[in-house]
């Protein structure tokens, strides 16, 4: 409530001036894509869901051609191999569908991942300094611990979206360990396949 009052007071002081409050962490406590990927990977491995289908990995590239090659070799080809194995076992193939969903999600965020904007935070910083209820309501993003934030974020997804109980953590970690080796093996097979394709006869 105090923050709303502060904003209203500022508007009364300069009624004909449009004051913009950029409530963003970039200018005060930035987190880079690489760091965010590392934190997400770490907590996805420490607190895996029992629904995990593949070993998580995060790699950021700016070269579209290299990205497409890596996507085909380490994403779609392994998914195709796993689906082939599932078909041979009489199970329903699902990995290619999951891979395509990930591709759509990545495409959605691509524009924002490849561009950068700088927002001035002077107004919001002034508002934070004058904020009377700081002890009750923490609004200073400079105090945000990104590691803790991502950890709580991942645990929140696990609990509230995936409805995964903490009791499933031990079995989920064992499953993730198996998926790690499946992931590595499919990477090796993908590289062998590529070398055979490009090797002169």
Q: Between 21 and 35, name the one with better pLDDT.
A: 35
Cα 54 → chain centroid: 15
Give CA–CA dist 33/121, Å, rounded: 21
pLDDT band for position 46 (50/70/90)? very high
Give one word for 90, left, alpha or beta, with left for phi > 0 and alpha for psi -120 to 50: left
pLDDT band for position 40 (50/70/90)? very high
Residue 1: the pLDDT is: 45
Read off the tokens for 150.
Answer: 């991502």
Q: Read off the pTM.
A: 0.71
Q: Is the confidence at residue 71, as pLDDT, over 70?
A: yes
DSSP string, 52-76: --S-------S-HHHHHHHHIIIII
- Residues 132-168 have pLDDT tens digits of 656 666 677 888 899 999 999 999 999 999 899 989 9
Q: Between 23 and 130, name the one with better pLDDT.
A: 23
Read off the tokens for 75.
Answer: 């994403």
pLDDT band for position 113 (50/70/90)? confident
Q: Is the confidence at residue 33, as pLDDT, over 60?
A: yes
Give CA–CA dist 56/102, Å, rounded: 12
pLDDT band for position 4 (50/70/90)? low
pLDDT band for position 124 (50/70/90)? confident
Average pLDDT over residues 85-110: 86
């Amino acid at each position: 409530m105090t923050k709303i009052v502060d904003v209203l007071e500022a508007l009364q002081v300069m009624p004909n001036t449009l004051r913009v409050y950029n409530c963003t962490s970039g200018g005060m406590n930035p987190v880079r894509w690489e760091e965010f990927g590392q934190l997400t990977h770490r907590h996805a491995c420490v607190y895996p869901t029992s629904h995990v289908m593949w070993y998580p990995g995060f790699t950021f590239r700016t070269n579209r051609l290299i990205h497409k090659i890596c996507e085909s070799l380490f994403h779609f080809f392994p998914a195709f191999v796993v689906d082939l194995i599932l078909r041979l076992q009489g199970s329903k193939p699902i990995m290619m569908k999951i891979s395509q969903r990930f591709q759509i999600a990545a495409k959605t965020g691509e524009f924002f991942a490849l561009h950068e904007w700088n927002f001035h935070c002077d107004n919001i910083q002034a508002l934070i300094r004058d904020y009377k209820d700081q002890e009750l309501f923490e609004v200073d993003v400079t105090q945000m611990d990104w590691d803790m934030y991502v950890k709580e974020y991942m645990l929140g997804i696990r609990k509230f979206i995936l409805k995964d109980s903490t009791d499933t953590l031990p079995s989920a970690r064992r499953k993730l360990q198996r998926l790690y080796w499946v992931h590595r093996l499919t990477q090796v097979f993908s590289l062998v396949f590529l070398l055979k394709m490009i090797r002169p006869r």
